[in-house]
Amino acid sequence: MAPDSVGTLLASAAYVWYGKISTTLKTSRGKGVVTAFILLSDVKDEIDYEFVGVDLENAQSNYYFQGITDYDNGQNISVSDTFQNYHTYEIDWTPDQITWSIDGQVKRTKKKSDTWNSTANRYDYPQTPARIQLSLWPAGLSSNGNGTVEWAGGLVDWSSQDIKNNGYYYASINEVKVQCYDPPSGAKSSGSTSYVYTANAGTNDTVAITSKSTVLKSLLGSGTNMSADYPSAASSSSSGSKTASSSAAASSTEVATVPGLTGAGPGTDGQRGASGSSNSGSGSGSGSGSNSVAPNGASSAATSSATGVGGFSQGNGGSSTSAQGNTASSKSERVLQGSLVALLVAIVSMLAM
């Protein structure tokens, strides 16, 4: 995490709907510097470990339901020097409980039955497909709220010894392991490509496993409008006149095809929109406006050849049979684990250079 940055975030492209996830790491250190190991869903269900750089003898365990802040959800777990020593931090997440373990020893358990919210008539319990994230972030920035800065131990010291020696703050990641569990009992399943939210409640009974595509027509697309296209492509396909094409091309430069960067980006199906182009991406989407996420990859702009997305990883990770028929899960999980570890090892190697 270099000066004048907002930190570093590594996130899996695949989603886990219950499973056992662990990472072996050394944290960073220093005022305002926070290392985190997180499971985060698209509706902001979250399970995490966070490590504040001024407290190297504690790991903070926490969980959130749909991003609702509840300071009673957190609990500190004692551990030896997190900067000097590698420790294995594990989250074992099932439909009934969450277990936080360190170095193979169970340190905390939270049962779903203890999260009942009688006012809202629901369980305030993380229960939707989540991505795995590892991050190093400057909680101690003057632009953050006073409570956040105080929690992080103060403002980041950008002239600390680590900055002088390396030019950045760092954490060391040794490995990440993922074991997916079967979907919860009664889960709606009609395919093996994507998770789809069927209602705005965003609870586990509104998640369905489907075969709907997760490929966006363009970078302007989203889970609720997967077929969104660029003005140039849309206009030129409806009019062959040179004037219409020129006008459309001009308007396309005013669109941030890469968020925050107006007039740039790969365009539709990997090509900048132009007259006569045959933009044949998936774009099927969901007519009901429901959101979809891919168990084996986040929604993204890609070429039309990417529509045959496979490798659904939901399953027990070792059994050759499953109630959901996920016989390929073990191989997919190894691929996910291998790709994550390769990326993390590469980054750690770079930091060590």
Q: Which residues does the annotation mark as catalytic?
A: 46, 50
Integer Cα distance of 239 and 251 in angstroms: 15
Here the tokens at position 14 are: 């695949």
What is the enclosing helix (H) or strand (E) of 92? strand 87-93
Contact call for residues 79 and 90 (beta carbons, < 8 A): no
Here the tokens at position 316 are: 């027990």
Strand-strand pairing, 172-180 and 122-123: unpaired
DSSP 72: G
Q: Which residues contact 173 (CB under 8 A, 6 or more apart)?
A: 23, 24, 25, 134, 344, 345, 347, 348
| Nearest Cα residue to 330 out of 341, 317, 319, 316 | 317
Integer Cα distance of 334 and 63 in angstroms: 27
| Nearest Cα residue to 215 out of 280, 276, 272 | 280
